[in-house]
Amino acid sequence: MSAVEAVAAAPGRRLRRRHRTVGALPKLTALLILAVIVLMPVYVLVVTSLKTVTETDVSHAWSLPGVWTTEAWSEAWRQLSPYLENSMELVIPATVLSTLLGSLNGFVLSKWRFPGADVVFTFFLFGMFIPYQAVMIPLAQLFDHVSFPQGIPRLIFAHVVYGIPITALIFRNYYATIPNDLMEAARMDRAGMFRTFWSVVLPISMPAFVVAAIWQFTSIWNDFLFAVFVVTDPNQWPVTVALNNVTGSMVTPYNLQMAAALLASLPTLLVYVLLGRYFMRGLMAGALKG
């Protein structure tokens, strides 16, 4: 549209926009109601975590704290901080390793293809649908059989292996959008497979790395099942398992549990807040050309 046409069309468009706002009112109301429903438990979570233990009974769950206190948060931090540390020791190497493996896999599955690449990829996809429960016992037996280092290393290994299908899928789909010419140009410039990956592909993989890293970080951080099964030494528990054992001395300390739950979920929340927009961009990368 030329500038002149754009100017001419402007009043009409403004009219249309106002019209749309009025028409969208019921839709917005519905969305608002749904949002409130979703956020209600979060409200209770937050409010309760800021109460004293005496105020936390079910009949007053909805009321604001009479006395605002961060007592529960301090206690939660005291109890959970070693486990938060464990979780970090688990999730950071596991995420780095599995995204790196994913990008290598995605690369050879889409850009440096080998005979049978599609068949291999199909098997990768199957891997995504194997439930944890199905492999838990064989996995534990394998670990014992090869005397794999106890605790967090086992958990890292399990998550890295389990992360291969999804990360490979993310990277493969992202790499599919990169023109083949680029790989061939690298080949003509005398680059081998690893050199092409390292110098040409890796530097332009940021969007896929963000998506895969967020995905892996979240699912590894939140995992409970593998952690409770694989890690036998309570000192090596990640925070999800430790959360289950947060206790007080006499009554059920709801305020403490709520604070602990919030504390345990803060890192994933943070990851989303910081990287969320890259996440969307990365997910969209396959859909739009250029």
Partner 1 sequence: MADIVLEELSKRFPNGFEAVKRLSLAIGESELLVLVGPSGCGKTTALRMIAGLEDITSGELFIGGRRMNDVLERDRDIAMVFQNYALYPHMTVAQNIAFSLRLGKVPKHEIRERVRETATLLGLEGLLDRRPKQLSGGQKQRVAMGRAIVRQPQVFLMDEPLSNLDAQLRVQMRGEIEALQKRLGVTTVYVTHDQVEALTMGDRIAVLRDGELQQVGGPAEVYDRPANLFVAGFIGSPPMNLAHGTVEANGATAIRLGATTLPVPDEVAREHGLDAYRGRRVIVGVRPEDLHGPESGNGHGPARLPAAIDRVESVGASLLVHFAVDAPDAKSAALAAMTGGEALEATQLAGGAGSSFCASFEPRSGIRVGDALEVAVDTARLHFFDPETERTTRPSSP
- In the bound state with partner 1, the residue whose beta carbon lies nearer, of 209 and 237, is 209
Q: Measure the CA angle with vertex 246, ends 245 and 249; round to 5°.
A: 110
- In the bound state with partner 1, the residue whose beta carbon lies nearer, of 119 and 146, is 119
- In the bound state with partner 1, the residue whose beta carbon lies nearer, of 21 and 199, is 199
CA 265 to chain centre: 11
Residue 18 in tokens: 């106002």
Query: Which residue type sits at 155?
Result: L
CA 62 to chain centre: 30
Shortest Å distance, C-beta 192 to partner 1: 7
- In the bound state with partner 1, the residue whose beta carbon lies nearer, of 149 and 192, is 192
Shortest Å distance, C-beta 181 to partner 1: 4
Cα separation, 243 vs 216, in Å, equals 20
Q: Residue 23: which residues within 8 A CB-CB, separation 6 or more?
A: none
Shortest Å distance, C-beta 55 to partner 1: 56
- In the bound state with partner 1, the residue whose beta carbon lies nearer, of 158 and 183, is 183
Cα separation, 85 vs 80, in Å, equals 9
Shortest Å distance, C-beta 199 to partner 1: 7
Task: Report the candidate in 283, 245, 274 with the shortest Cα–Cα distance to residue 82.
Answer: 245
- In the bound state with partner 1, the residue whose beta carbon lies nearer, of 144 and 184, is 184
Task: Report the candidate in 245, 163, 243, 258 with the shortest Cα–Cα distance to residue 211.
Answer: 163
Q: Residue 126: which residues within 8 A CB-CB, separation 6 or more?
A: 165
Given the rule CB under 8 A, which residues bind partner 1?
179, 181-182, 184-192, 195, 199-200, 203-204
